[in-house]
Structure 1
Amino acid sequence: MTPDPTAHLTDLIRDVPLLQSVLEKIESLNLPDAWLVAGSIAGIVWNHQAGQPALQGIRDLDIVYFDPQDLSADTEAALEAKFAEFPLPIDVKNQARVPLWFEAKFGVPCPPYRDTPDAIASYPTTSTTLGVRQVGKHLQICAPFGLVDLFDGVIRANGRLTTEEVYVKKTTRWVAEWPHLLVLPWSERVLPESPTVTL
C-alpha cells in the first residue's frame, strides 16, 4: 500500500478535472452534509493502478446529502438537474430518505441513518465505503474502513447492510473492468467499527 494513502487519494482526485468541478459544485450548493461517494472515487484509484484513463469504467457519479426535513423525491430530481452540465450521469440521493425505499428495492430493511457518514459506512464493500467533499481549499475524506483495501486492490464485503446477491453482482462487473482486483468471498465480510472522517 502507498505510504500516505490519504495524500495519494487527494492527489488522484485533484488530477481529474471532472471530479474537481463536481466537488466545487457540491460545495457551492450548500447541501447539508453532502459528499461525492463510492465507486467513482475507487474507480480512479483502480484505473491509476491499471494504467487506464481516470474515468474508464465509471458509469456515473453518486452525490449524497442528509436532510430529514425534506424527504421528497422531487427535491432529489431537482438537484440532479443542477448537475446536467456534466458529461457523466449524476445520481443525487438524500440519505435520510433511503430507508423509505431501500427494502422494496433490495429486500432488506434499512434502519434510519444518523447522518451521511453513517450512511457511507453501510455501503456494500470496504473499498467503496468512501466519501469525499471539498471544504474550502481542502478535501475531506470519509473512510469508515480506512484506505488499505482500496489501495491494495482488495474487495471485501461490508456486512452491515448489503446482501450477497448485490455483492456478487457488483464485484463481477468490477473484475471485468479491473482484472487486478482481488475479490474475497462473501464469507469474509466485515463490519465497520464506526464512521470516520480523515482530514
Structure 2
Amino acid sequence: MKLIKTEEALKRLIAADDWMIDILTTVEKLQLPDSWVCAGFVRSKVWDVLHEKKYRTPLADIDVIYFDKVNALEDYEKQYEQELKKYLPDEPWSVKNQARMHVVNNSEPYQSSIDGIAHFPETPTAIGVRLINEKLEIAAPHGIQYLISGIVAPTPYFQKGSQMHEVYKNRVHNKQWKSLWPKLQIIY
C-alpha cells in the first residue's frame, strides 16, 4: 500500500486531483455557511491510492454539508443540489444541512458542520475538505489515522455498547467495502 502520513500529504493528494478541485471550487461558489465536501469523496480517494487503483472508484453521491439554523428546511438542500447541477450536471450531488441531521442519528442538535461530521458512523468517513480562497482545509474531528491506515472503525457515537452500534455494523456490511478495497481492516 502507498502511504499518506500527514494531513499535509492528504491535502497534496487532493490538490493534485483536478476532478476533486473542480468539485471543491464548485461548492465554494455557493458560499454555503460552514460547508464541506465529505465522506466518500475523501475516503474513496485515499483508499483508491492505498490500493494503487489506476481509476477512481465511482461515488454513489458527493456529500456536501453545511450548517444553517435559520433555513433548516430540506427544500433548501434540494435547491442547492440544483444549483450545483447547473455547474456540474453529471455529478451525483447530495446536500445536507447539519442543523437538522441530528434527527437521523437520534442525538442532540449539532453545533456546527464539524460536529455533524463527528457523528458520522465510521472514522474514515468522518472527514471533510473544503476550498476557501484557493486554500484547502481538512475537518477531521477523529483524526485521519484510520483513514490513511485503511482501517474502518466506529466513531465514538457508534461504538460497541451504544444503541447506534448496530447501525454501524449494518452499514459496514451493506457497503461491502472489502470487495472494492480488499486490504481494508474492518473493526466491529
* Band of TM-score, shorter chain: 0.7 to 0.9
**Compared with structure 1, are the counterparts of its residues 151 and 42 closer, same or farther at alpha carbon in structure 2 (3 Å cutoff)?**
same
Deviation at 1:158, TM superposition (A): 1.1
In structure 1, how many angstroms separate the alpha carbons of the residues matched to 2:55 and 2:114? 25
Counterpart in the other structure of 2:149: 152
- Structure 1 runs of 4+ aligned residues shifted over 3 Å read 1-4
Counterpart in the other structure of 1:92: 95
Q: Which moved more, 1:158-167 or 1:85-94?
A: 158-167
Counterpart in the other structure of 1:182: 185
Q: Is the 8 A contact 1:44 1:54 kept in 2?
A: no
Query: What is the TM-score when the length of structure 1 is the normalising length?
Result: 0.82
**Correspondences of 1:89-168 after superposition (within 5 Å):** 89-100=92-103, 102=104, 109-161=106-158, 163-168=164-169
Q: Which moved more, 1:48-57 or 1:76-85?
A: 48-57
Q: Secondary structure at the match of 1:83?
A: helix
- Residue type at the aligned position of 1:165: E
Number of aligned residues? 179
In structure 1, how many angstroms separate the alpha carbons of the residues matched to 2:45 and 2:132? 21
Deviation at 1:57, TM superposition (A): 4.1
Q: Is the 8 A contact 2:4 2:10 kept in 1?
A: no
- Residue type at the aligned position of 1:93: K
Query: What is the TM-score when the length of structure 2 is the normalising length?
Result: 0.87
**Compared with structure 1, are the counterparts of its residues 161 and 167 closer, same or farther at alpha carbon in structure 2 (3 Å cutoff)?**
closer
In structure 2, how many angstroms separate the alpha carbons of the residues matched to 1:70 and 1:149? 34
Q: Is the 8 A contact 1:16 1:54 kept in 2?
A: no
In structure 1, the gaps of 5 or more residues are 103-107, 186-199
Indicate whether 1:44 and 2:45 are aligned.
yes
Percent pairwise identity:
30
Q: Secondary structure at the match of 2:136?
A: strand
In structure 2, how many angstroms separate the alpha carbons of the residues matched to 1:68 and 1:161? 25
- Residue type at the aligned position of 1:120: I
